[in-house]
């Protein structure tokens, strides 16, 4: 079975400061890892993914994530947070079987 843990319910960060949202995963075989963002009353928007290759993945809106196989982690990062980054962030994993397992999500609040 595949699963994702997002240990923090809410992440508060001041505008302009670095933002990190944590994610650890469990999967059989090689992981396919994803980050999605959800704004209020909207669907999920794809941010970035890791399938293979470089461990540091760059995605939309200045976000990046680092795949760490030994720690089974895929933390999302942004060097300088914007107020508009305030949203719900979901980490997801699959084993390439087309079925994504999502974490419970992290609410990010960027304080002006």
Partner 1 sequence: NAGVMQNPRHLVRRRGQEARLRCSPVKGHSHVYWYRQLPEEGLKFMVYLQKENIIDESGMPKERFSAEFPKEGPSILRIQQVVRGDSAAYFCASSRDRGQNTGELFFGEGSRLTVL
Binding site for partner 1 (CB under 8 A): 32, 34, 36, 41-46, 49, 51, 90, 94, 96, 98-105
Q: How far is the CB of 87 from partner 1 (least distance, A)?
A: 14
Structure tokens at 63: 């976000």
Q: How far is the CB of 78 from partner 1 (least distance, A)?
A: 20
Torsion angle defined by CA atoms of residues 91, 33, 69 and 2, in that order, rounded to the nearest 10 degrees: 80
Q: How far is the CB of 70 from partner 1 (least distance, A)?
A: 22
Those residues whose C-beta lies under 8 Å from the C-beta of residue 55, and which sit 6 or more positions away, are 66, 67, 68, 69
């Amino acid at each position: 079975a595949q699963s994702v843990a997002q240990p923090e319910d809410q992440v508060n960060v001041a505008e302009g400061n670095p933002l990190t949202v944590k994610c650890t995963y469990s999967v059989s075989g090689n992981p396919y890892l994803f980050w999605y963002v959800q704004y209020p009353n909207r669907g999920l928007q794809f941010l970035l993914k890791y399938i293979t290759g470089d461990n540091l993945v760059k995605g939309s809106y200045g976000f990046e994530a680092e795949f760490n196989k030994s720690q089974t982690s895929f933390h999302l990062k942004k060097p300088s947070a914007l107020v508009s980054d305030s949203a719900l962030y979901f980490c997801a994993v699959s084993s390439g079987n087309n079925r994504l397992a999502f974490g419970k999500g992290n609410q990010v609040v960027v304080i002006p």
